[in-house]
Every structure is written in C-alpha cells, then in structure tokens.
Chains A and B, each alone.
Chain A
Amino acid sequence: MRRGRSGLAAILPVLWLALFFAFPFMLVAKLSLSDTALAMPPYAPRIDWSQGLAGVRAFLAGLDGETYGRLTQDRLYLDAYLSSLRIAGTGTVLLLLIGYPIAYGISRFSPAVRQALVMAVILPFWTSFLIRIYAWIAILKPAGVLNAGLAALGLPPVDILNTETAVLLGLVYAYLPFMVLPLYAVLEKQDQSLIEAAQDLGATPLSAFWRVTFPLSIPGAAAGALLCFIPMAGEFVIPDLLGGSETLMLGKVIWTEFFANRDWPAASAVAIVLLATLIAPILLFERQQAKVLRS
C-alpha cells in the first residue's frame, strides 16, 4: 500500500512535466524545424497518418533548420536578442540595488512588523498584473500623473512613455517582490549572533555587514536575480505596453512573428533560442536553490 502511494507520488511530477512541458516543448521544437506554408495551420510538413510509417518518415525528411538560418540573416533577431538580455540584465541589477535594502530593512524589524511588511510586498499581486501595467501608462503618459507632479514642483515635463526607461520602470515595479522575497528569506534566517560576534571581534557595524551579512545573503541574491532575469528576458506585456515600437525584445518578436506575420516556425525558433540561452541561468538557479535548501 505504502509502496503504491510513493510510486504515485513519484510519477505525478513526471506525468505533469511530460504533459505540460516535454510534449508542448517538442511541438514547438518541431514547429521551429518546419517551413511556413500558405495553409491552415500555416506550416509544413505535416504528418500524413494515412501513409502509416512512410508518412512519418516523409514528415521527418521534411524537417530542416532553415528557419534558424533565417534568424541569423535578419539583424532584427540578433538586435532583439541582445536588447532582451541587456534590458533583463539592467533590470536585474536595478532590482538588486532596490530590493536588497528593502529586504534587509524588513528583516531588521520585529517579527510582527516583518510579517506586515512582507504582506505589503506581496499585496500588489492581488490586483491584476495587466491593470497595474496599464496604470503605469496613465502615470507616464505626456499629460499623466508624473508630469502633473513635476509641473506642480515647477520642473520641466519628461516624456518617457514608449522608451526603454519606461520598460525598465515597469519591470522593476512588477518583479520587485520576486527579488525581495528570496533575499528576505535568507536575511531573516540569519543568526544575529554572527553579527554580534563580528562586532565583538572589532568589526564596525558597516564592516560586519560587508564581511558577514552580505556574503551570507549571496544565495538569496542569486535566487532573486535568476527568478527575475529569466522571465524578464522573455517578457512581453511590459515592453509591449510601456516600450512602444522603440523597444525590441524577444517576447514582442515572438508575438509579431506569430500573430502579425503568421510565421509560426520563426516564432518557435526564436522561442527555442531564448530557452537555450536561459538554460544556463536556470540550471544555475536550480543549483542555488539546492544550496539554500541544504543550509
């Protein structure tokens, strides 16, 4: 009986991953190796099941990497790729700079206050993501809240909607909890007597922070950075709503290829390339997580 249950428990995640990750991933991979066609759905080859095994063989013979070749020929893809990584990277650095002091600050409060503050960090999730990003349009648009505030202070207006600045603002705003929470989890657990020991041995409070608190919080920082970087690199909604046509990001490229150009193979190939790039940080993240769990 027990053996049966543990067997089921082991098989469930495998089943889940097979159904919702491996299978769709293979579909996308297959699509990326297909060619566009004026058909519905708009790609070829497709398996002709009536031919049996020969049909499958013919289908496999029809697959090629031509689409990937196309990606290297158009600068647009490379530009979008690099700019995605750059924007996600900049966003991650900004998130670390903003998230660390917030997480550290929260961890210094008494447990009751800490709980309330963590709640406040999570609270925005209770409102629809889309609505919150739309709200930024209202804030950043030329006649928006931001410029009204600047005018009231006698400052010149800024026009940042539909720029990379706006995208970064949106990313930092939307992903902040993903940075703060893992950092907070590490900082909150930290043994206070380590700081006391450092000060006892002659370290100033600042030096105790840099030599003890900070190095011990690196696993949390790494977890937060990867947790933000990975989805930000493929982010679509924020660059689409706040970045206008100026900002090139892979998420938008995929959307355009798929819906505007009806080029399913190209959209799939871009998605595969993005995934391949992110595998390294994802594996790194997994290792970090394992480390945090062990400690």
Chain B
Amino acid sequence: MNGRAPTSRPQIGGIRETFAPWDDPAARPLVRFDGVSKGFGETRAVAGVDLAIYEREFFALLGPSGCGKTTLMRMLAGFETPDAGRIWLADRDIAADPPHRRPVHMMFQAYALFPHLSVAQNIAFGLKRQGLPKAEIAARVEEMLALVKLEGLGRRRPDQLSGGQRQRVALARAIAPRPRILLLDEPMAALDKKLREETQFELMTLQQTLGMTFMIVTHDQDEAMVVADRIAVMREGRIVQVGRPAEVYEAPADRYVAGFIGDVTLFPGRITAREGPLVRLQSDDGAFDAEGAGDVGDQVWLAVRPEKIAVHTDPPADPRNRIAGRILDYGYLGDWTTYLVEIAPGRTIRAARANATRTVERPLGCDDSVWLTFAPSSAVVLSA
C-alpha cells in the first residue's frame, strides 16, 4: 500500500499485508492517545499510554483482566476522564466532550439493550438522538436489521431473543448512527465457542463492508489474532507491544507477550558467539543457535513455539538445536497433537505436531524417547 518493496527476507507470519497505514508516515491517525494515564484511588489503571489507531482499522486491545484495557476504551467513549494526557479524535482533543457528544459508539459487554424498547426502537435510539427524519430512521433500522440478519424481528423485545440475536441487536444499535469508531467491549464473551468463531468472521466482514473503524477489547488472544489488523498487548496499565497478529506472535517484544499469546518454551542463557544473523546461546539445556539481536555476553531468553519444534523418533543427523527427551504426556486435539516432553528431570518442553494424515506408521506414546529440533530462524531471542 505504501510502496514497500518486496524484501529478500521472508515475511513474518507468511502473510502479505496490503493494509498498513501505520507504516505510512503521511497517514493521520483517527484516534490518538497521547500520554494518557488514569488511576482509581491507589491503583494506576492506565499508565502513560501512547497509541494511534487509523481509519478503517480493526484494532484490538488485548490483555488479562485488570490490565487497564477497558479503562482505556471507556476513556475514548467518555465514561472516564484521563488524569493526564490527551485523546484526539480526527485531530480534535475530545477530553472535554461528554459521552453523548462523541461520535464514538460502544457495544457493551452485557449488550445493555433497553429492555422496555423493541429491537427496532433500540436500534433507532441513537438515530432519534441525531434528529433524523422519521422516514430515514425507519429505513436505516430496516437496513441495520438486514445487515445483522434479524429481518422481521424488529418488534420483538430483547428478552424474547436468544443470546446471539441480542448480540446482533447491540451491534446494530451501535453502528446505526455511523460512529467514527465503534468500540466493542468483550463482544463475544457471552457466546459459546462455535457461535463465537462464526461471529468473529461476521464482525470482520461487517467491518470491511462498512469501512468502519473498530476497536475491540478482549482477553482472548485467539479472538484478537483472528479479527484484528493490529493488536496492542497491555500489561498493568501499559502497552507492551503493538503490531500485526503475526508480528506479536512471531516476534514478541518480551517474555510476557510471548507467554500471553500462545504457548512458548523459554531457554534462559547467555550469548557466547555471533556469526552474521546467528547468535549462539549457552543455556542449562544445551547450546542453541538462533537468529536475533544481542551481543556476546548478554543475558537473553530463547523463545520457541511448540509448533516450531519437530519431534523425531531417530536422532537427527544435524547436531544443532537438538534436544533428547522422553514423552511425558500428550494431548490429541484432532487437528494437532501436543506433546509434553521431559528433557531433564523436572524440565519439560511443549511440542506440537499437525495431524496431516489420518494414520501414522509409528505413533508416539508416553515414555517414548524422542529427539526435538528447531530451526535457528524459528526461535526468537528476547532480551527482556
């Protein structure tokens, strides 16, 4: 999009991104958090957050409960006032605007549908506040009902709907007045797994069809990975890393991000040598080669994802990045099997193997001796 030349280095995550305004220095962000802090009593819920969200972006705030992601979102909606810092919406400082004057709408976690109003009246609520003519409101309500596939249910009351239908009404109600940015507070927390996955894809389609900017708050890393263009990982009121899902997963900023998103095995050690892009790391579990930054003598951590560790029954010829172990336990997940491999007393590693075929000649089981290997480019060197 911004004319990046195809690089000789392989692309992270194996996905070519075409939408990347955050890499474009000329692009103006739609929303900008500028040193925003907020405390409740003694606790600092949000501590000096800088963040830029771009038009048409699907942005995810990801973190465990209590990390400040909801507070950050509520400050954008206007329900909380920052103690320090500024929030810009389309180059306007909106700090002084009350919630009802912000072109920012929120889909609440428990949906917060008005129980005394019908589905159609719920969707029309924001449109009426905008003072639109009656005919236009009616047309827009119908359009919204069709958009979320609830045609014919406009006269129902919220308590006559299923959980999934209520979620759609909440969504329709929030997007009907065409906000500049839609905030979604754990929008799928109340749905079961199957419905949640469907809804994730529907949300993405909807966001792209409408060309609207979405900001989602979630503690579910899978959800954030699926729906978001970019993810901001939060921890204790701070943003630890912002990046595309593949960047956050394949190039985590630190051990926290590596461990929060997906499974990871960490090898703490010291860099003993450097050879071009490769560093040699000496750890208690052996010496490993990995691509990454760092100087000789640095204390670092090598992070390897389970699916990047190959499991062999015979010792591989290449002695590099090779660990011997014994299968302690395994879990068959259908698409994947994960193995818990003991490489030293009390020291285990997780390895995962895709079940690409239905039958395996020599199936692995508990107590089998195995060899684990990983490519130097598959490990990440973390300095924090």
Contact = CB atoms under 8 A, between A and B. Distances in A.
Contact of A216 (B98, B104, B116): B116
A204 interface: yes
28 contacts: A191-B110, A191-B112, A193-B110, A197-B113, A197-B114, A198-B114, A198-B125, A199-B78, A199-B99, A200-B77, A200-B78, A200-B79, A200-B104, A200-B105, A200-B174, A201-B125, A201-B126, A202-B101, A202-B129, A203-B100, A203-B125, A204-B100, A205-B98, A207-B129, A211-B125, A215-B116, A216-B116, A295-B115
Contacts of A197: 106, 108, 112-114
A216 B78 CA distance: 24
Interface in A160-204: 191, 193-194, 196-204
Max chain A CB contacts within 10 Å: which of B78, B99, B106?
A: B99
Contacts of A146: none
B43 interface: no
A200 B100 contact: yes
Interface of A: 191, 193-194, 196-205, 207-208, 211-212, 215-216, 295
B306 interface: no
A202 B126 contact: yes
Given A202-B100, A203-B100, A204-B100, A196 B108 contact: yes
A204 B100 CA distance: 6
A118 to B, nearest CB: 25
B219 interface: no
Nearest to A192: B112
Contacts of A199: 78, 98-100
Contact of B114 (A204, A207, A212, A295): A212
B116 A201 contact: no
Nearest to B170: A197
A196 B130 CA distance: 17
Contacts of B113: 197
Given A207-B129, A216-B115, A196 B110 contact: no
Contacts of B38: none
B18 to A, nearest CB: 33
B99 A200 contact: yes
B107 to A, nearest CB: 9
Contacts of A194: 112, 114
A200 B101 CA distance: 8
Q: Which 6 A-B pairs have the closest CB atoms?
A: A202-B129, A201-B126, A197-B112, A193-B112, A199-B99, A199-B100
B166 interface: no
A190 to B, nearest CB: 10
B100 to A, nearest CB: 5
Contacts of A198: 114, 125
Contacts of B101: 202
Contact of B79 (A196, A205, A212): A196
Interface string B109-142: 1101111100000000110011000000000000
A293 to B, nearest CB: 15
Given A201-B173, A201-B177, A202-B126, A196 B116 contact: no
Nearest to B126: A201
Interface string B51-77: 000000000000000000000000001
Nearest to B131: A202
Contact of A202 (B77, B110, B112, B130): B130
Nearest to B115: A216
Contacts of A193: 108-110, 112
A208 B105 CA distance: 15
B130 A200 contact: no
Contacts of A212: 114, 116
A195 to B, nearest CB: 9
A202 B177 contact: yes
A212 B126 CA distance: 13
Max chain A CB contacts within 10 Å: which of B110, B126, B129, B174?
A: B129
Contacts of B78: 199-200
A199 B79 CA distance: 9
Given A196-B77, A202-B130, 12 more contacts: A194-B114, A198-B125, A199-B78, A200-B78, A200-B79, A200-B100, A201-B100, A201-B105, A203-B100, A207-B129, A208-B100, A211-B125
Contact of B112 (A196, A205, A211, A295): A196
B296 to A, nearest CB: 55
A247 B110 CA distance: 54
A219 B77 CA distance: 31
A215 B121 CA distance: 14
Max chain B CB contacts within 10 Å: which of A191, A208, A295?
A: A191
A198 B99 CA distance: 9
Contacts of A208: 100
A38 B173 CA distance: 76
Contacts of B106: 196-197, 200
A199 B177 CA distance: 13
A216 to B, nearest CB: 6
A212 B116 CA distance: 8
A201 B78 CA distance: 12
Nearest to B109: A193
Contact of A203 (B77, B112, B129): B129
